[in-house]
Structure 1
């Protein structure tokens, strides 16, 4: 398929609270190198900045990031700040808090509720902003998220945060958070070969309630933070051939086809892969193709 003229609005839009975004956005994790979860070889900074410029040229107006996205010499937030500040009015930047790493890159224990203000302020400092459009509370195996989410709700009331989301949660956590403050989106791991009945329930509930569902690792498969899936089922390859598309584009198209409330945030440090990811928003699967891939997803469980 021809990709150069396809922009992020091809997949349609969704409204996060009062902020309208294109359904294909950009995940910033890979701007720092092969993975934000180790301090390996740093990325080429000029190339990472070029990827962000290209994303904006292609209509991306939703970027997902975090202060803990860093590798040796590189910080995703700093790169975003350098590339895109002063920020366009239509750009929505989402950050996550909960996990944290020290300066050596080692992971700490999960943040306490009283730590979250400092985490939000660190994102603000790195991004050069006076408020964050959207902040996710990433659950770190807590049974209850009430105290942590309540701390973020207070920061929302103070004007440091515009909208709130939650990540890595079960349906009961969504209900728990909604009793405290509005939730505009949920971010869980979800993809064609990542089948979790609880996440499928969250996907459905979000659709019923008009809440955005934002899957991570949608095209990574079992590789997770280490990169896009390299092995593909024959069913995926067959659909890709039918559309003149790549398997990764079919994975993204299937993800977006799960409902108009589903957003995609594929990440890459490669300008060519970025263009392909954005173009996936123009792929329209047939009912038969959807059924085939849905069956593949169910088998993954």
Structure 2
């Protein structure tokens, strides 16, 4: 049986299929994409469909995705977890640099609090480890913010299993966001460690940023046809079957695509179908 929910940090239960807000901003995560009203409506639709995990970041836009979430959903339902990220400064489309000094992380977190119109961020994730700053200092800044009640849970983005092991010496890590999907399993060791430690794994690019649907691997297409589903739905269903800690948050700017993604939660793969998909890599 595939579990439909997961408890992040041991105390916040979310539905495992969430919604990512990267598709609400322009190409390269820069500037707007369409009308703000349409983005707000899509956020409402996601909640109406039962989503209670929304993934965002301060550099989506930049700032814009967080602003849209607040415009659409504030005051927030008690069961909604908004996960945002800091530690990266975006300077143009697909152009950014890490910024992990403690004073930078504090300023970024406090700016996200203001944009999200909240006193505490449910899940605050370090977007990238800054190689120029000791890990203990970066995580120490987040621990201070947590002690002040400004962060509920701490997460990490794009780490190795070794880095995660080290981070766990300093902070209780509630989530990891690494790239992971049916055709890219380079973070398998991280996923296994998350499973062992009860850490949520929020895979970014769960559909390979479109690669899965474009490439149309034969096995993927075969399984999709058997279920009357899209290849994207099968790829998301595989993630839900792969590990109970995987919580995909696919993003889109389309209501139709949102519905398709969320309907993937109803797909149940057989052992034979899972084997076919596993063999893709």
Place the TM-score, normalised by the shorter chain, in its bin: over 0.9
Matches within 5 A, 1:11-50: 12-17=4-9, 18-36=11-29, 38-39=30-31, 42-50=33-41
Q: Distance in 2 between matches of 1:286 and 1:121?
A: 46
2:64 to 64, 75, 82: 75
Q: What number of residue pairs does the alignment pair up?
A: 278
**Please, which runs of 5 or more residues in structure 2 have no aligned partner?**
none
Look up the match of 1:5.
none
On the 8 A contact 2:129/2:135 being kept in 1, the answer is no
1:181 to 171, 189, 204: 171
Q: Distance in 1 between matches of 2:185 and 2:93?
A: 34
**How far does residue 194 in structure 1 lie from its aligned partner after superposition?**
1.0
SS where residue 88 of structure 2 aligns?
coil
Kindly tell me: are residues 33 and 201 of structure 1, through their superposed partners in 2, closer, same or farther at Cα, counting changes over 3 Å? same
SS where residue 68 of structure 1 aligns?
coil
**How far does residue 46 in structure 1 lie from its aligned partner after superposition?**
1.8
Kindly tell me: are residues 256 and 59 of structure 1, through their superposed partners in 2, closer, same or farther at Cα, counting changes over 3 Å? same
**How far does residue 104 in structure 1 lie from its aligned partner after superposition?**
9.1
2:118 to 107, 111, 129: 129
SS where residue 46 of structure 1 aligns?
helix
**Please, which runs of 5 or more residues in structure 1 have no aligned partner?**
1-9
Q: Distance in 2 between matches of 1:136 and 1:69?
A: 14
Once the two structures are overlaid, the 10-residue window that deviates more, 132-141 or 57-66, is: 132-141
On the 8 A contact 1:11/1:22 being kept in 2, the answer is no
Kindly tell me: are residues 229 and 98 of structure 1, through their superposed partners in 2, closer, same or farther at Cα, counting changes over 3 Å? farther
Look up the match of 1:207.
195
On the 8 A contact 1:16/1:185 being kept in 2, the answer is yes
**How far does residue 209 in structure 1 lie from its aligned partner after superposition?**
1.5
Q: Distance in 2 between matches of 1:136 and 1:271?
A: 27
Q: Distance in 1 between matches of 2:118 and 2:42?
A: 21
SS where residue 261 of structure 1 aligns?
coil
**How far does residue 213 in structure 1 lie from its aligned partner after superposition?**
1.1
**How far does residue 206 in structure 1 lie from its aligned partner after superposition?**
0.9
Look up the match of 1:99.
88
The reply to whether residue 171 of structure 1 matches residue 161 of structure 2 is yes
Matches within 5 A, 1:208-223: 208-221=196-209
Q: Distance in 1 between matches of 2:141 and 2:95?
A: 25
Matches within 5 A, 1:212-251: 212-221=200-209, 229-251=213-235
Q: Distance in 1 between matches of 2:99 and 2:229?
A: 40
On the 8 A contact 1:95/1:135 being kept in 2, the answer is yes
The reply to whether residue 54 of structure 1 matches residue 45 of structure 2 is yes
SS where residue 173 of structure 2 aligns?
coil
